[in-house]
Amino acid sequence: MPESLLMIPGPTNVSERVREVMSRPQLGHGSPEFTEKFGETLKLARSAFKNDKGSQFVFTGSGTVAMEASVASTIQPGDSVLVLDTGYFGQRMASINEAHGARVSQLQYPLGTHADPDDLRRKLQGDKFRAVFITHVDTSTAVVNPIKELVAECKDAGVFAVVDSVCGLAGEELDFDRLGADIVFTASQKAIAAPPGAVLIAVSNELLEYFQERAKPIQGWYLNLLRWKPIMDDPKMYLATPAVQIMLALREALLELKEEGLEERWKRHRALAQKIRDGLQRRDVKFVAEEGYRANTLTGFVVKDGIAPGVQKELREAHRIEVARGLGDYGGKMIRIGHMGILSAEQADRTVKAVDETLAKFGVAASVPVPGNRGVNQA
Ligand SMILES: Cc1ncc(COP(=O)(O)O)c(C=O)c1O
């Protein structure tokens, strides 16, 4: 029986080391052993973001908590914000902003296309916004947005840039200090390869100052980043009981990331993404993300109408491989394969082979190679 393989876009497979740490006897959240380890986790998180200059936050929650904490801390009711909507998580960002009383404008992009820095420049020349919200990799389409160029436009216009890198950080190149964004956040369960349950947020000094100076104080309590700041400065302090095992698991996963090297992890993600896409192109499938903007952390492709649930079931039952379907309207038409975290080349090969066999079983034709063209099904 082959090992079961989690090939969804998060949570991802975790190592034995991470699993072992979670099974140890319970530690008190105020114990010297835990608070020391939590302090180390914060330092390791800084390295994963390349954040030497700004503030670093780690606390309990899923990625959505990081989204809402960013909004609650940055936005005052009545503020105008701009959301770059390249998919499901851009829409969620718009909805969270609305819930916090922001006036939301959106630049909306067709499914599978990237947010265009030229559009952003034009929009920022015309209107004033408190902040622009950018999704690094939208997990619903597997599009990677050009964050360097997008953030540069925000900086030129003097507007805060908030980057959701839940499905990017550690798998896609990102250097917080150089990028110049005001917030970048991620969650533990994706390319960092820890279990779900922790958010990691980097905040620029300029935005932190703004938190202190805003006319209306930050609404919300748990989601108020200013309230967390003293705990991040002194992990012995208490605000709310952390998910102790998850934090210890996160520390272990971040140690593994450090041992591999951040740049090496980016490189491995690039290579594995290419391997998966090359393999998929043996069949007549259409990638959702446009060429040139395909993420290194996951791949989404469209299959014949109605077969996605069957493909998913067959992969689970016959191959012990779990893949995801599309989100929302694309549930029946799309398959998404996560290839992030600690995935090995062998596991990627096994996935490609199993998906190829399964698609063949569901009548998806082999693709016909076109001379001089490596992939016939470029979206
Ligand atoms: C890009 C992006 N943002 C936000 C989230 C929300 O994270 P969570 O499901 O952990 O709340 C996800 C989850 O997959 C995501 O992919």
Q: What is the pLDDT of residue 375?
A: 40
**What φ, ψ does residue 219 adopt, rounded to 5°?**
-85, 155
How far apart are the C-alpha atoms of 354 and 15, rounded to whole Å? 22
Contact 91, 120 (CB under 8 A): no
Q: What is the three-state SS of 10-27?
A: CCCCCCHHHHHHHCCCCC
Nearest CA to ligand 1 atom 8: 63
How far apart are the C-alpha atoms of 88 and 93, rounded to whole Å? 9
Walk along the chain (379 residues) in steps of 10 and give the mean pLDDT of each run. 93 98 97 98 98 98 98 98 97 98 97 97 97 97 98 98 98 98 98 98 98 94 98 97 98 98 98 97 93 98 91 97 88 92 97 97 81 43
Mutational pocket test of ligand 1: of 8, 166, 169, 172, the residue with most ligand atoms within 8 Å of the beta carbon: 166
Mutational pocket test of ligand 1: of 167, 183, 199, 298, the residue with most ligand atoms within 8 Å of the beta carbon: 167
Contact 145, 174 (CB under 8 A): no
**Closest by CA position to 137, among listed 74, 103, 94, 87:** 87
How far apart are the C-alpha atoms of 103 and 99, rounded to whole Å? 10
What atom in ligand 1 is closest to the CA of residue 64? 11
Nearest CA to ligand 1 atom 13: 63
Distance 39 CA to ligand 1 centre (A): 25
Pocket of ligand 1 (CB under 6 A): 10, 62-64, 67, 89, 135, 138-139, 164, 166-167, 187, 196
Nearest CA to ligand 1 atom 9: 63
Q: What is the pLDDT of residue 379?
A: 35
Q: What is the pLDDT of residue 106?
A: 98
- What predicted TM-score, i.e. pTM, was given to this entire model? 0.96
Q: What is the DSSP letter of 363?
A: T
Q: What is the DSSP pairing of strand 334-338 with strand 298-302?
A: antiparallel
Q: What is the pLDDT of residue 369?
A: 60
